[in-house]
Structures are given as structure tokens and as C-alpha cells.
Chain A
Amino acid sequence: MYEQDDLVYDSRRPIAPYAHTRPTTERPWVKWLLIGIAMAFMLAVLVLPLVLVFTEAFRKGADAYFAAFTDAQSLAAIRLTLLVAAIAVPLNLVFGIAAAWCVAKYEFPGKTFLTTLIDLPFSVSPVVSGMVYVLLFGAQSFLHPFLRANNIEIIFAVPGIVLATIFVTFPFIARELIPLMQDQGNGDEEAALSLGATGWQTFWRVTLPNIKWGLLYGVLLCNARAMGEFGAVSVVSGHIRGKTTTMPLDIEILYNEYNFAAAFAVASLLAMLALVTLLVKTILEFRYGDELAGTRRH
């Protein structure tokens, strides 16, 4: 590549042609300073808190740690979190593919508007997302007499939590697929159709295999957020213990009850989920980097 000399800056040396570092290469000390700052920042802001979660969780020993998971209310919170993710993620999977398909494969009026709308949950504060549902389905809303008459509970019950979670995790899969599908174009599908495949056959045998890794990646992110969402869920939950508290809300309650070991034990479970997600994501990127190319762009 280039000579060792290129990387050493010496002010006493006369400036000879090519002797100086290239304009596109920083001085070494700049490079190491930048790397150092980035590393220190990551250590302080990401790694240290993560380590603390686990040390706090085990502060009172392994027994206290595992006791946290036998508590009926924490178990209920874990169950509810899994239920919410099990409903929200498949729904967003279907929506995400449909939306990405629309945006990537067709031209239609209002396409830019649709793309912007998909991003809305990213730009709106989760608290606002929750409040919107309270306004829409709460006791002061115009829908309430109808809901009440039909004995349908949405806010302060499981459906409200599911709705809020869907809203917040809405864009993850669509945002993952849109650039990927745009990159791939319509060629494969057109070939399949012209060879006599039906719409469904084309989808299952051509489109889906093309996008599967990007899709899996989107599902992972969507799932992590669905389980970890706090703000929007907090607004619509009503905080009924053992009934409408998800894991993040349970952590807050335990912390407020001075039950720090249990709070951090449940927190460590959530953190582990994040780590596993990250691990799977890294493996996917490593093995199927090419097919994920579209995802690197944003």
C-alpha cells in the first residue's frame, strides 16, 4: 500500500513529493484519538451500564436472582410480554412485507406520503403514541359508549398494550425490506410470471427467498423493541400488577418497591434478549452480508 514513512509526521523534514501523508489519510495521532474517543464513549455509555445490570442483579446472590423469576407477578409480566410480541411481530411482519412490496415494486400517487407515514412511529415520542390511543379508546372518547355497550376493553387492558406495541414497532420490518426490494428490482418476479407462475407461487418461491435474510433481520429488531417498549405501553397499561404489566413496567414497579435485586434480575433478562438479538444479527451479517447489503445503507 504505502510506505511506513508516509504515516510519520516530522516537521523538520522538507516536504518532498509523495513524502507527506496522502490528503485522504489522517495523521496517526488523529486516528488514534478518534478511535480512543469512540471506544471510551462506548465503554462508558454502553458496556459499563450493561455490566452494572448484571452485577446488581446478582448482588444478593444467585438464589435471589432466580427467586425473582418465581414471583407470580413477574411471571405474569414475562408471559404478557411474550404474548404481546407474539401478536405484534407477526402482524408487523405481514404489514411490513405488504408495505415494502407496494413501495418497492409499484409506482403510484402518494407513494412518498406512504413512505413518510411508515416512518412516523420513529419520529413520534412513544408517550404520544400511547396518549393517542387513550384519546381514541379512553372513557372520554366518542368511541367509548360503543365499546362499553359491547363490553370491549382496549385501554388499560391487553388489546391496548398490543395496539401501542404495534404502533411503535410498525416501521422496523418495512424499513428493512424497502431498500432491499428496491435494489433487487422486479426482474425475478417478471421472469417467474412470464414462465407461468401464479402470484402466490411467485411470492413463495421467488420473492420470499430473495428477502428472507433481510426479513429475519427486521423481525429480530421488531421483536426486541416489542418486548422492550416502555413509554407507549406505560401510558395505556393502567399498571395493574399481574394483569397489564409487561416486563419493562414490572422492572419499574420492582425498583420503586426497593426490590433492586429483582428489578435488575428482570432487567438482565431483557438485556440478555438484546444481546442474543445482537449476536444473531452479527451472525446474519457475517454469513449473508451480500443479501443484507440493502440494510447497510441506513
Chain B
Amino acid sequence: MKTTARLLAIGALFASVALTGVVTARAADQTLLNVSYDPTRELYAAYNVAFAKHWNETTGNNVTIEQSHGGSGKQAQSVIDGLQADVVTLALEGDINAIAEKAGLFNTDWRGEFANNSTPYTSTIVFLVRKGNPKGISDWGDLIKDGVEVITPNPKTSGGARWNYLAAWAWSNKANGGDEAKNIEFVKELFAHVPVLDTGARGSTVTFAQKELGDVLLAWENEAFLVLDEFGADNFDVVYPPSSILAEPPVAVVDKNAEAHGTVELATEYLNYLYSAEGQTIAAANHYRPSNPDIVTDKALLDAFPKIDLISIDDPLFGGWKTAQPKHFGDGGIFDQIFAPQG
């Protein structure tokens, strides 16, 4: 009995010593944690190098920028649960609102902090098709033609997929003269053409490009070009529909965290520099549409962005995220009504 008691005591001691040992104090070196969503990996990999150089040149200090990527909603939840982000650069305004509302880490009027509603770059949804576009897909209406298989992630879990859905809705609204019943019919028909519903944008891209499923991928503009770079431009074509949606992925400083880390100035400059000539050029080079194209140094990059008709989420058709989110994607919303899981 004695032995057991001793063993247990030693075990407990061991446990507490080991745990204390690994509780790491934050280093005096300046580090910045940027919590972002999935498709921005390449953008921030390039931008972080440029910013570290800029910060060193202007202040003489070194900065290490740490990145965390994942589904936009999941990332927001992690920050709410205590992930020590200094800045968040997410896919949807609603995800950043959730952090402000549920965790109170910054003010709910964060959209006024930076230029252009705190959106340094925008994006849109395009079609990625197999080389030569064998199914002849050129507009949203073509997606529901017989025998066309569409790849998109699940709007319930993916920010990108919500933009896909809303872009389709906007096209239908225009084509059907604003008849909501026909819009519902169209998105229902569209999702009946989806053989695999992945949870995130990257998952869908891998399904389409690597596993070679489906005829058309509804993708972020940057994601579509990334596929051309990674999997070879000989296998795919990017098709721009005449109209699509204006996706505005916003950024914010997580005030309470940055104050605790003493990084407010650094974090603010990190996001501000996204609006500089260099930041905008890096965004354009990574196929994000710069919010201020005039200052982009390499004008050739801008030619890669065809002018198409882009509708904003703030258009009366949607009435902003606060209205569109519950109406379309909330529990029992339109998506829940039209989408019956197969099998």
C-alpha cells in the first residue's frame, strides 16, 4: 500500500514538474500571429517576407510572423477560444463580427479601422474547367445542363462556398426577373449537380484537380489560378462568367491580444502595409484584386483581372451579411430546405 502511495506521489510530482517546464513564456522578440483562412497561404507567405523587410528598414527591429490557416469559421472560433491572434485576415465579415461579439476582443465597429471597409483586396468566384472546356460552360445557367457535374464545398462550413451560392443566386435573380421561387429552384437544381460536397475550398480543389472528379469547379479567382500553377496550365482553363460576386475578405487587429503582447503598433502597420504599393502588388501577383489598383507597380498583373459584372453582398438583393447569413445559411434557411443529402 505504501509503495503505491509513493508511486502515485512521485507520478504527480513528475507530472507537475514536466508541465511547468513546458509552459513557455512569450519571448521578448517581437512576433506577430496572423490567423487567416485557407486560400491565403501563398499570399501571406510572400507578404510576410516583404513586411518583415519593411519593418526592419523603418524601425530597425526584427519581426517573426507566424501563420495559422484553416476554414474561416473554424479559425474565428479558435480566436474566440483563446488562440492568441494579433491580427485576423478572414474570408467573411461575419466571422470577424463573431470574434467582436462573442469574445469582445475588439470593437464591433472594426470595419472603419482601415480603408475600404477594412478590405485591402477583393476576390470573386470563377469557373475552373477541364482543358478546352468540353462541356461548354460559360455562364451560371450552363451549370445545370444535363450531365454537368459541379464541384463546390458545403456552404454550411465553407466561406468560399457561400460566395459560390450567392453568386449563383444573383445570376438567377437577374435571369428570372427577380422571382425568388425561381431562384430557389435554380440553386436547388445546381446542388443536385454536385457529386461531392467537401467542407472547405481546398478540399474541393483537391477533389477537382487531384482526384479529377467533376466538370467544373466553382472557385475563388486566386484558387483557380493557383491550380493552373500547381497542376499545370495544360490541364485546365479558367472561365469568367459574365457576372459574379464581389467577395470582400476583411482584416482586423485583435486589440485585446495585441495590447497584451505589446504589438498594437506592429499589428496596425502590418495591416496598413497591405494597402501600400508593395502590398497591393503582392496581392495582385497572388491573384487577389487590389483595392487600389492605381498604385500597383507591375501594371501587367492587372490585365489578368477581366472586368466582369460584380455584385456586392451589400446590394439590396442580399441586404448585407447580417440579413443574408440567417436567410440562406442559418438553421432551417434556404440552403437547408433545398439540399437533401444523398444516400
Contact = CB atoms under 8 A, between A and B. Distances in A.
B231 A241 contact: no
Contacts of B230: 258
B279 to A, nearest CB: 21
The CB with the most chain B CB atoms within 10 A, among A105, A199, A240, A241, is that of A240
A90 interface: yes
B188 interface: no
A92 to B, nearest CB: 10
A83 B18 CA distance: 11
Given A153-B24, A203-B3, A134 B81 contact: yes
Interface in A198-228: 199-200, 202-203
A98 B11 contact: yes
Interface in B205-235: 206, 210, 226, 230-231
Nearest to A258: B230
Given A87-B18, A162-B19, A162-B22, A240 B67 contact: yes
B230 to A, nearest CB: 4
B49 interface: no
B70 interface: yes
B67 A258 contact: no
A236 to B, nearest CB: 9
B68 A238 contact: yes
A240 B7 contact: no
B202 A256 contact: yes
A155 B4 contact: no
A253 B7 contact: no
A242 B202 CA distance: 21
Contacts of A272: none
Contacts of A199: 2-3, 6
B181 interface: no
Contacts of B22: 83, 87, 158-159, 162
Contacts of A271: none
Given A102-B4, A159-B19, A258-B230, A241 B67 contact: yes
A239 B84 CA distance: 12
A97 B18 contact: no
A230 B324 CA distance: 35
A242 B26 CA distance: 15
A296 B33 CA distance: 49
B3 A239 contact: no
Contacts of A95: 11
A90 B226 CA distance: 45
Given A144-B82, A240-B33, A94 B3 contact: no
B101 interface: no
Interface string A158-183: 11001000000000000000000000
Contacts of A156: 78, 81-84
Q: Which applies to chain A's interface (DSSP): helix, strand, loop or mixed?
A: helix
Interface residues on A, range: 35 or more
Contacts of B15: 91, 94
Contact of A238 (B4, B42, B83, B202): B83
A212 B38 CA distance: 47
A202 B3 contact: yes
Interface in A131-160: 134, 137-140, 144, 148, 151-159
A257 B83 contact: no
Contact of A257 (B11, B41, B210): B41
A239 B70 contact: yes
B1 A106 contact: yes
A281 interface: no
A204 to B, nearest CB: 11
A241 B68 CA distance: 6
A27 interface: no
Contacts of B2: 199
A58 interface: no
Interface string B1-37: 1111011101100110011001111100000010000
B266 interface: no
Contacts of A239: 68-70
B26 to A, nearest CB: 7
Interface string B58-71: 00000000111110
Given A105-B4, A148-B260, 20 more contacts: A83-B22, A94-B7, A94-B10, A94-B11, A98-B8, A98-B11, A101-B3, A101-B7, A106-B4, A140-B82, A152-B23, A155-B81, A155-B82, A156-B83, A159-B19, A202-B3, A240-B66, A240-B68, A241-B68, A256-B69
Interface of B: 1-4, 6-8, 10-11, 14-15, 18-19, 22-26, 33, 38, 41-42, 66-70, 78, 80-84, 103, 202, 206, 210, 226, 230-231, 260
A-B residue pairs, 10 tightest by C-beta: A139-B82, A199-B3, A138-B81, A94-B11, A258-B230, A238-B83, A156-B83, A256-B202, A98-B7, A239-B68
7 contacts: A91-B18, A139-B80, A139-B82, A140-B82, A140-B103, A159-B22, A159-B23
Interface of A: 83, 87, 90-91, 94-95, 97-98, 101-102, 105-106, 134, 137-140, 144, 148, 151-159, 162, 199-200, 202-203, 238-243, 253, 255-258, 260
